């Protein structure tokens, strides 16, 4: 579930999603080498100390996405689906009919999606171990370059956790997010792209360089990512800048305050500048 504006994300639901991820990761220890965190939690874990001042609000998500290696279906670890059922997750379907696992936590349903890569395929599902995973180009690069991050927090049982998590690095993450935007133009995807570029803990230039490396490495998400940059980042009124600003500030309305107009234009300009940096990384 992706909402159009930041204000629609309930803080309790956001906290529950992160707690659910910590519970999932803690319970899948034997699978860790074949897993990588992708999706909405990635910017939070790649962008350093959240107590520092930021020009954008903190990342939010209501679900957990895990990339999984297609080769994990060798069966040496036992039953992945049983490990998930032990934690209260059961197989269901997303809004498009694709497979996902869900768990109800209080008033919230927490989705868990598995994503895998099957060369030449760009959509559909594949069985990995004993779970269905959605096919997504770029997952193999996310697995190959994952960063180990110590994530601290409270799991769904209320236990304090400090877990070493394999997190998708900035290059593959940007490639997959840009590819997602060219297909669905979701405002949250635009926000995640901008947040990662502005606040990446190794700096904007390093994030851009990491994206350029994905292009050179032949990441299969990059052709669509390049198309996204050429179509949706051209100027302040293009789709990506407008949607990034709309996600943070809400849709533009007549006679909004000067302060809001200024902030909106600033976000849109930051998005255009970011797109130009990424396009330069492709051309170089």
Query: How does pLDDT run across 2-27, given as a tens digit for each residue?
Result: 899 999 999 999 999 999 999 999 99
Task: Give the whole-angstrom CA distance, residue 116 versus residue 38.
Answer: 11
For residue 60 the two structure tokens come to 């939010």
Beta strands in 39-193 (DSSP E): 64-68, 90-93, 99-105, 108-116, 125-128, 131-135, 147-154, 160-167
Model confidence at 180, pLDDT cuts 50, 70, 90, reads very high
- Mean pLDDT check: name the lowest of 70-84, 150-164, 223-237, 269-283: 70-84
φ, ψ dihedrals at 257, nearest 5°: -65, 160
How much is the pLDDT for 75? 59
> pLDDT (tens digit, 9 = 90+) per residue, 238-267?
999 999 999 999 999 988 999 999 999 999
pTM: predicted TM-score of the whole model, two decimal places? 0.95
Query: What's the pLDDT at 77?
Result: 63
Quick one: pLDDT at residue 53?
Answer: 84
Arithmetic mean of pLDDT over the chain: 94
* Rounded percentage of the chain residues whose pLDDT exceeds 70: 98
Q: pLDDT exceeding 90 applies to what percent of the chain? A: 86
CB distance 60 to 13 below 8 Å: no
pLDDT at 50 over 90: no
Are the C-beta atoms of 168 and 42 separated by less than 8 Å?
yes
């Amino acid at each position: 579930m992706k909402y159009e504006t930041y204000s629609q994300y309930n803080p309790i639901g956001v906290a529950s999603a992160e707690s659910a991820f910590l519970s999932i990761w803690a319970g899948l220890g034997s699978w860790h080498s074949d897993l990588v965190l992708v999706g909405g939690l990635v910017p939070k874990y790649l962008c350093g100390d959240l107590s520092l001042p930021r020009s954008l609000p903190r990342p939010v998500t209501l679900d957990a996405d895990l990339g999984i290696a297609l080769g994990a279906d060798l069966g040496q670890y036992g039953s992945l689906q049983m490990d998930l059922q032990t934690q209260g997750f059961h197989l269901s379907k997303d809004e498009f009919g694709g497979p996902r696992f869900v768990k109800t936590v209080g008033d919230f349903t927490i989705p868990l999606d598995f994503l895998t890569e099957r060369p030449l395929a760009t959509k559909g599902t594949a069985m990995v171990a004993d779970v269905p995973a959605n096919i997504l180009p770029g997952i193999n690069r996310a697995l190959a370059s994952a960063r180990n991050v110590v994530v601290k927090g409270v799991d769904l049982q209320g236990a304090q956790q400090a877990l070493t998590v394999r997190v998708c690095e900035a290059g593959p993450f940007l490639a997959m997010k840009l590819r997602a935007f060219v297909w669905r133009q979701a405002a949250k995807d635009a926000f995640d792209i901008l947040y990662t570029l502005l606040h990446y803990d190794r700096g904007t230039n390093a994030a851009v360089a990491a994206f350029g490396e994905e292009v050179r490495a032949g990441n299969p998400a990059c052709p669509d990512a390049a198309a996204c940059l050429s179509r949706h980042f051209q100027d302040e009124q293009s789709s990506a800048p407008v949607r990034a600003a709309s996600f943070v500030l809400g849709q533009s309305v007549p006679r909004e305050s000067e302060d809001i107009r200024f902030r909106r234009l600033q976000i849109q300009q930051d998005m255009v500048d970011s797109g130009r940096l990424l396009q330069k990384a492709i051309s170089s």
